[in-house]
Structure 1
Amino acid sequence: MRILVVSDAWLPQVNGVVRTMQTVVAELRARGDVVEVVGPDRFPTLPTPGYAEIRLALAPRRRLARIVDEFRPDAVHVATEGPLGWAMRAICRRRGWRFTTSFHTKFPDYLHARTGIPKSWSWALMRRFHAAGSGTLCATPTLAAELRGRGFAHVVPWSRGVDLSRFSPDAAEQGAAEAWESLPRPIFLCAGRVAVEKNLEAFLALDLPGSKVVVGDGPQRAALMRRFPEVHFTGWRENGALARAYARADVFVFPSRTDTFGLVLLEALASGTPVAAYPVTGPLDVIADSPVGALDEDLRAACLRALQAKREECRVHAARFSWSACAQRFRDSLLHCS
């Protein structure tokens, strides 16, 4: 099958959407499908306000139409609601093509946190965008229920996976030690984009024993480093360095209330590190009542309880999530909805 994926989130960006689509595309190609990904790297771009590292395609519709004509897809998936997503949506509607979409990010919550724009306005726009597709893929049952409650139709479950060979307890024994590893134990680690929507302050302000470490970068990093000088900020860590950070921490803390899944949860668990989080979309579906972590509206209590989890059980729990199954579900959805 010739599959066209259009996404405003693509390399060289580093985030969960890119990691998901990159891995699924690799799985599909390995099975023999021809997959073309169209991202902002093919167009003139402008920086996203507040996120200079994220570039958005500028007036992409004509050039995108030419790319589509050259590729001749059997199925089209629109992964994001940015300029490329809207342009591909318009092309499909004009030509009478069916297409699927996916819901990765609660932009209404993000925009409200950063600008104060009423959530209802943004949710109405998101609902309109996805209503044009024949199926909206989303990562968890909790998110699916929320979307249906907000008036989204044709919601299709589509879980995630984790690379068990990359993220493993064995990573703790590989590579040199970093400065933060000599800090007092236990080490409470948080990894991801350092931005207001990730709710990092809820973690950084906690009165916890041991030390706090933040792996990642973003627009809020400098301000948070000034406010919390006792916290160790490492900056971005990728590949082996990120895997080592997960494996060498004592608890992974996920303070976000707006993520739709949280790939980092699976990466930490695969590394043998228990999770502490709020009982919200993502953690509710990945952790639930499993003994591999703790969910609590009192995040400090969750952090302390997570210390009691058995690391070997964390690894076993993560192994239930397969990228192979994720890719198959994606392909099946294209066939069913196209």
Structure 2
Amino acid sequence: MLIVTDTFQQTNGVSTTYKNLRRIAKSRNIRFQVLHPSLYRWMPLPFYPEIQLNLQPCRLWRTLNRMQPSQLHIATEGLMGLVARSWCKLHHKPYTTSYHTRFPEYLALMWHIPARWTYAYLRWFHHGALSTFVTTESMRQTLLNQDFRNLVIWSRGVSEQLISPVVETAPAHKLRVLNVGRVSKEKNLDALCTYQDTFDITLVGNGPYLNELKQKYPRVHFAGYQYGQALAELYASHDVFAFPSRTDTFGIVMIEAMCNGLPVAAFDVTGPRDVVEPGFSGALHHDLKEAILHCQVLDKQAIRQKARSQWTWSHCFDTFYQHYPKSGRQTV
């Protein structure tokens, strides 16, 4: 199996997904190779420095010529993905794609680029793929309304090292509210941090909006990047997981939280709508504060048990493997 992606060495949902697929493939003795910008000369993307921009697209083309893959998966719509798509088209090789990021909404929010322009590019990019993987039914409906084709729902999983043993914590004076993810403006973190006097809020992660948030919200705890058992313990030591983003396609951190028994408070939008079961595993509300307060009475042990049986990387890999293009199938 060959994957081409514009992000792999970074901390984000895309990288997490393919690193876990590679781990499962190795356990099943299935060859799984990833081509990513770190294999070439690269520079940080100016407005998104955690993303690497491949400065040697011709070398990627030569890599594909040398490998002569009979099929591949294109994970992202950046320069690496463009080169791989062009190579497949020229050589009549079948390929699949995936839709990980809501770029039309992000670019409209951050730089006022009309969403219809971005959707036009993405519709062209994914046209011709045997399948385009999307994370949820809501995301599938959104893209169907934008005239995308051959959409396959592809869920996510949680690694065992991110699940902490059940720990009983003493009640606190304030609800302990956690958020994990990229600290950037499009994540709508102000909607959570504004309650710094109401809740004991911890943000895990880093990003271009971090320093501004620190200045605006001095009573919020900023923990930086956390990984493995340290991150699992942070999940387990809090009462509620808040997910204020309105523009995510999924949000792996929500299912990580639920696997550790944390109910999720979020807005009723794509991503949370497909992951959270209101009244059981969390609360969806137009007022994030109200959603957080509703979560405090939910059964954390029941959330943990159901989430651990539902969200597995093995199931995620099975779906991917089932739809991975087979030799001889042609693109259109």
TM-score between both structures, scaled by the size of structure 2 = 0.93
Asked if the contact 1:171/1:240 (under 8 Å) is kept, the reply is no
Provide closer, same or farther for how the CA distance between residues 14 and 83 of structure 1 changes in structure 2, counting only shifts above 3 A: same
CA distance in 1, matches of 2:68, 2:167: 46
CA distance in 2, matches of 1:145, 1:309: 30
CA distance in 1, matches of 2:190, 2:40: 36
Check if 1:323 corresponds to 2:313: yes
Shift of 1:208: 6.2
Shift of 1:169: 4.2
Asked if the contact 2:70/2:93 (under 8 Å) is kept, the reply is no
Q: 1:103 aligns with which of 99, 109, 125?
A: 99
Listed as ranges, the matches of 1:271-286 within 5 Å are 271-286=260-275
Check if 1:49 corresponds to 2:46: yes
- What's 1:4 paired with? 2
Provide closer, same or farther for how the CA distance between residues 308 and 122 of structure 1 changes in structure 2, counting only shifts above 3 A: same
Asked if the contact 2:72/2:325 (under 8 Å) is kept, the reply is no
TM-score between both structures, scaled by the size of structure 1 = 0.92
- What's 2:142 paired with? 146
Listed as ranges, the matches of 1:187-336 within 5 Å are 187-206=176-195, 209-289=198-278, 291-319=280-308, 320-335=310-325
- What's 1:166 paired with? 161
CA distance in 2, matches of 1:309, 1:226: 33
Partner AA of 1:168 in structure 2: I
- What's 2:20 paired with? 23
Provide closer, same or farther for how the CA distance between residues 145 and 330 of structure 1 changes in structure 2, counting only shifts above 3 A: same
Partner AA of 1:289 in structure 2: P
SS in structure 2 at match of 1:127? helix
Give deviations 1:136-158, integer Å, cap 9, x for gaps. Answer: 01111110111111110111111
List runs of 5+ in structure 2 lacking aligned partners: none
Percent identical residues: 37
Check if 1:129 corresponds to 2:129: no
Q: Number of aligned residue pairs: give it.
A: 327
CA distance in 2, matches of 1:311, 1:225: 30
Provide closer, same or farther for how the CA distance between residues 290 and 160 of structure 1 changes in structure 2, counting only shifts above 3 A: farther
Partner AA of 2:7 in structure 1: A
CA distance in 1, matches of 2:196, 2:27: 48
Shift of 1:6: 0.1
Give deviations 1:295-316, integer Å, cap 9, x for gaps. Answer: 1111111000011111101112
CA distance in 2, matches of 1:253, 1:221: 17
CA distance in 1, matches of 2:56, 2:104: 23
Give deviations 1:180-229, integer Å, cap 9, x for gaps. Answer: x9984321111100001101011111376331111111000000110111
List runs of 5+ in structure 1 lacking aligned partners: none
Give deviations 1:89-148, integer Å, cap 9, x for gaps. Answer: 010011111100000000111112221111111111111111132210111111011111
SS in structure 2 at match of 1:34? coil
- What's 1:76 paired with? 72
CA distance in 1, matches of 2:293, 2:223: 23
Shift of 1:237: 1.0
CA distance in 2, matches of 1:182, 1:190: 19
